[in-house]
């Protein structure tokens, strides 16, 4: 088993005496996208929270998560460098589209370089000229693309996608999904997609 990528080893999640899943092992290589499916309440979103480090302390947890060979367990969410894209777009309402993106650019970058990266991201997301726009004026698809680009601008080492396309209509969903998959693959980072939708197939599909 290679140490590069995102690896879950013998993970068990339980809450209130109820085991959500046990013995989960998963290895996602760089550039690979794995789709995780399961019924409501099977623990998909809890698994996402566990991997990114935001799981509620009420959960009983066993197992480990490593990213590129580094154990994520002791690290708080902000130190893991794992990007998350939620079902809700979670854009910051008090910031413009450009400010939302600039917020994610890592520190130590000059102002002009920061602006360049934001502009490049907007072009890549087909949102050129949207920098000054209020996020409330964006369509669902546009919001999803901004949320994805924002997560990627933080230079994550892995991406978690928690049903990010579920609120989009069928046509838009396919466009945004293709955009998200191709963008993640270009960055060559491992990604885990949690979904209810069988259309959201990727490199591999596993079921909880």
Partner 1 sequence: MRPVKAAFARNPFGWALPLTLAVFIGPIFLGLFGTLLPAFGLQPALGSFELSFDPWHDFFNDPALTKSLRLTLTVGFGATLIAVIIGFCSVAILFGTRAFGIVRSLLAPALAFPHASFAVGLAFLIAPSGWIARLISPWATGWDQPPDLLIVRDPDAIALMLSLALKESLFLVLMIVGALGQINAGSLLRSARSMGYAPARAWLIVIAPQVYAQVRLPIYAMLASALSIVDMAIVLGPAAPPPLAPMTLDWFRELDSGRQLMASVAAIFQLLLVIGAVLLWRFGEMVVNLAVRGPLTNGIRRGWAERIAGGVGRIGISLALVASVGAILMLLIWSFAGTWSWPGALPQRWSAAMWVRSGDTLVLLVWRTAIIAIAASAIATALAIFCLEAGIGQPKSRWLVILYVPLLVPQISFLFGVQLLWNRLWLDGTMVAVTLTHLLFVLPYVFLVLSDPYRALDPRIAIAARSLGASRLRTLVRIKIPLLARPIATAMAIGFAVSVGQYLPTLFAGAGQIDTLTTEAVALASGADRRLAGVIAFTLTALPFMALALVSLAPNRLGRANQ
19-22 long-range contacts (CB < 8 A, ≥24 apart) are: 20/46, 20/208, 21/47, 21/208
CA–CA gap between residue 134 and residue 75 (Å, rounded): 34
Q: Of the ranges 14-22, 39-47, 87-95, 172-180, which one interacts with partner 1 (CB under 8 A)?
A: 87-95
* Options 8-16, 80-88, 134-142, 169-177: segment touching partner 1 (CB under 8 A): 80-88
Nearer to partner 1, 38 or 164 (CB): 164
Closest approach, Cβ 77 to partner 1, in A, equals 4
Which of 14, 61, 90, 205 touches partner 1 by CB under 8 A? Answer: 90
**What single string gives the DSSP state of each residue in 6-70?**
EEEEEEEEEETTEEEEEEEEEEE-TT-EEEEE--TTSSHHHHHHHHHT---TTSEEEEEEEETTE
Among 16, 17, 74, 76, binds partner 1 (CB under 8 A): 76
Report, in Å, the least distance between residue 201 CB and partner 1.
Answer: 25
HSE of 155, CA atoms in CB hemisphere, 13 A = 7
Q: Of 5, 156, 164, 190, which one interacts with partner 1 (CB under 8 A)?
A: 156
Residue 77 binding partner 1, by CB under 8 A: yes
Strands 191-195 and 33-37: parallel
d(CA 165, CA 71): 30
The CA-based angle 123-79-161, given to 5 degrees, is: 50
Residue 56 or 170: which CB sits closer to partner 1?
Answer: 56
Q: Is the torsion defined by CA of 62, 68, 71, 75 positive or negative?
A: negative
Q: How far is it, in rounded angstroms, from Cα 73 to Cα 186?
A: 28
108 lies in the binding site for partner 1 (CB under 8 A): yes
Judged by beta carbon, residue 37 or residue 97, the one nearer partner 1 is 97
Site for partner 1 in 27-56 (CB under 8 A): 52, 54
Q: Which of 10, 71, 88, 169 binds partner 1 (CB under 8 A)?
A: 88
Asked if residue 102 binds partner 1 (CB under 8 A), the reply is yes
Using CB under 8 A, list all residues that contact partner 1.
52, 54, 76-84, 86, 88, 90, 92-95, 99, 102-109, 114, 150-151, 154, 156
């Amino acid at each position: 088993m290679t140490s590069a990528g995102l690896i879950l080893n013998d993970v068990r999640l339980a809450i209130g005496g109820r085991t959500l899943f046990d013995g989960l092992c998963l290895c996602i290589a760089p550039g690979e996208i794995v789709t995780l499916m399961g019924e409501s309440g099977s623990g998909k979103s809890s698994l996402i929270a566990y991997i990114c480090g935001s799981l509620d302390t009420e959960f009983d947890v066993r197992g480990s998560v490593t990213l590129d060979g580094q154990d994520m367990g002791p690290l708080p969410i902000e130190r893991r460098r794992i990007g998350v894209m939620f079902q809700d777009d979670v854009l910051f309402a008090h910031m413009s589209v450009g400010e939302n993106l600039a917020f994610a650019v890592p520190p130590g970058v000059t102002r002009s370089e920061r602006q360049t990266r934001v502009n490049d991201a907007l072009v890549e997301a087909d949102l050129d000229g949207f920098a000054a726009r209020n996020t409330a004026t964006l369509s669902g698809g546009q919001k999803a693309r901004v949320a994805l680009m924002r997560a990627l601008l933080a230079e994550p080492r892995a991406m978690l996608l928690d049903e990010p396309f579920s609120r989009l209509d069928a046509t838009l969903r396919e466009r945004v999904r293709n955009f998200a998959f191709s963008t993640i693959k270009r960055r060559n980072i491992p990604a885990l997609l949690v979904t209810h939708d069988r259309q959201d197939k990727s490199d591999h599909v596993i079921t909880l």
